[in-house]
Amino acid sequence: MKLILGALLICQLAKASLSTQPPSGGAMPFNLPKDIDSMGRWRQARHFANLEQSVEDYNAAECVASAPDYATSLVRRWLIVLPLDERFDPPMGSFSHGHIQTGDKMSLPRNFWDAIQKNKAEVPWLFEVSRINGVTGAGERVEMPIDMTDPMLNKVVGGAVDFRSPPNYIFLPRWMMVALALKPLDVVEVKLVQNTPPGSAVKLRPHSTAFTKIGNHQAVLETELKHYSALTKGSTIPFDYNGKRYYFDVVELRSAPRGERVSIAKVQDCDIAAEFVRPKDQMKRKN
């Protein structure tokens, strides 16, 4: 009954966020049935509760019971995805205030804070969010927004805005959900990672030439990058400036100190050189 009541609390949020074109096929232990939108409230709640119970059972058996020690039991979980929104915005005066969608911070359950403490993780605290083969979205990827191509990423790395998400849930900024082709209530794997290489250089492709025409656009770039703990090649990240949102494809990343090409690099507390390549709208006009 407790799980049913908990599921009802997320019912309205989930209904408002579910894809209008859910994956084909029936329900799996870690997926909702394709006709969830046509069900009554109580049937929906039951399916949400079953999904939560399946995730909780997996975590108890595979992440906790099988771990060699307590510290290790905290670092990995399967979690149910929900979209991060302004209710998670830190108080005014906090560094991440106003950057819920223009940064890489996610809301995680409490066990990850305990994982940081027990494993003595050094800052920046980074978390890898991965699609689970055959489980996430029943093995299917959602359609991309208009004018975007699926980068076919299976993992991204970011930081935490807080650790107050309910157990078994994670709240992600929209660009992360797009990068991984996720819809709300998909199941992903999340891990505390401590081996992400420091970045030395990044190449970004603006979607709009308008950003490069800002007089101090390089300074704006350096300021906004501070809201990202790490970058993933192939992802598209947003910045806000003067009330307008700009998008950038992460084209190339190099690690320090040898300048090797890498797929993921941390940028927080790193001396990283950022440069632009030709804007996406110019490439389209040429073609």
Express each pLDDT in 130-151 by its tens digit. Answer: 999 999 998 889 988 877 889 9
Which among 17, 46, 9, 47 is positioned nearest to 30, based on CA atoms? Answer: 47
Q: What is the mean pLDDT of residues 176-202?
A: 96
pLDDT band for position 170 (cuts 50, 70, 90): very high
The pLDDT > 70 percentage for the chain reads 89
Confidence (pTM): 0.88
pLDDT band for position 9 (cuts 50, 70, 90): low
pLDDT band for position 188 (cuts 50, 70, 90): very high
Q: Decide if pLDDT at 1 tops 80.
A: no
- In DSSP terms, 277 is beta-bridged to none
pLDDT at position 5: 42
* CA dihedral of residues 126, 132, 137, 143 (deg, nearest 10): 60
- For residue 257, whether the previous peptide bond is cis, meaning omega lies within 30 degrees of 0, is yes
Paired tokens of 183: 């819809």
pLDDT at position 25: 41
Tell me the pLDDT of the chain averaged across its residues: 88
pLDDT at position 3: 47
- Could you give the CA distance from residue 81 to residue 19 in angstroms, rounded to a whole number? 13
pLDDT at position 15: 42
Q: Decide if pLDDT at 267 tops 90.
A: yes
The residue type found at 174 is R
Cα→Cα distances 107→39, 46, 78, 111, 158, Å: 29, 25, 14, 12, 11
Q: What is the mean pLDDT of residues 217-226?
A: 90
